Amino acid sequence: MTSAIHPDGAPGTGAPITGRDIHTVTFAGAKGRNQGYDTEEVDAFLERCADGVERLHADLAAARAEIAQLRDKMDRDSRSTEVEQAISVLTTAQQTADQTVADADDYSRRVMAEAQSTYEDARRNAAVLEQEAEEKARAVYDEALQRAVSISRENADYVELLEQNAAAAQQRLEQQTMYLRTLRDSTRTQMESFLEGLLDHLATEYGKADPAAAQAASPASTRSGARRGRRRTAERAALARGAAGRNGSRPSTEASTVTAGRSSSPAAPRATPTVLPQQRGPVDPYGR
């Protein structure tokens, strides 16, 4: 037999009725002959249900009131939060704007400072480069001027040396020409003296065989001897002039002695020796 559950749950407790209690509640059978549930238990249960429903309505009303209060509070809080958020956003935006302006000003100052520094550096570098270029140009100009002056002096010295060498060569050429002329004249004089001596010798030899012919030839021999004397005097003077021109001194009075004459014996005549100025080596007209 199924045991009945008391509608109040545990006896003597005021536990609230739940939906499970309503679904599982059982009632004891009616006493006596009446069929059905016990009226007292049903009434008690219904009373409990009514109390529970009233409490539920009261709780529901309280809950609704609380919900309304909470919603109102949430609305107020929401509006306050929105204002605060707006103020915060505006404040943040203002701070961001101020910071951006400050950063822009700082960046502008730094850019201006860097630009000014770059300009100053460029101006100093330009001044240094200009000074260096001017110094280099001045050094190149001075060096070129010195080289030009040096080359001009060297050319002037070289021209002067060439003129001196040309003058010396001209002097040596004149001396050599005079020497050759003197040698030519002395050689011709010697040859003439030799030929005259040979003729005198022949005349002497033939005069022994023919005295009349020798006597007739005597005036010619006398004239020939006079001519030889004059030639010898001219030869001595020419030799003295040649020696003076080569040695740069006055003509020497001690000229070479030219001896010529007939031999007392019938020997063949000898060429008249003539002493010429001695050269000290081959003469180079260019002074080499």
Q: Is residue 241 a contact partner of residue 141, using CB atoms and an 8 Å limit?
A: no
Residue 201's H or E segment, with its range, is helix 39-209
Euclidean distance between the first and the last CA atom of the chain, given in angstroms as a whole number: 171
The whole-angstrom separation of Cα 251 and Cα 236 is: 10
User: Shortest CA distance to 260 belongs to which of 227, 238, 237, 219?
Assistant: 227
In single-letter form, the type of residue at position 236 comes to R
pLDDT score of 120: 86
Tell me how far apart the alpha carbons of residues 178 and 55 are, in angstroms, rounded to a whole number: 174
Tell me which amino acid residue 63 is.
A
Q: Which two tokens stand for residue 63?
A: 């809950």
Q: Is the pTM of this model over 0.85?
A: no
Tokens of 10: 């545990």
Mean pLDDT per 10-residue segment, the chain (288 residues): 40 57 67 67 80 83 87 76 77 84 85 85 89 91 89 86 91 92 91 87 73 55 58 61 52 38 41 46 45
Task: Locate the domains of the chain by residue range.
Answer: 19-83
Cβ atoms of 182 and 239 within 8 Å: the answer is yes
What is the structure's pLDDT at 119? 83
Tell me phi and psi for residue 118, to 5 degrees. Answer: -60, -40
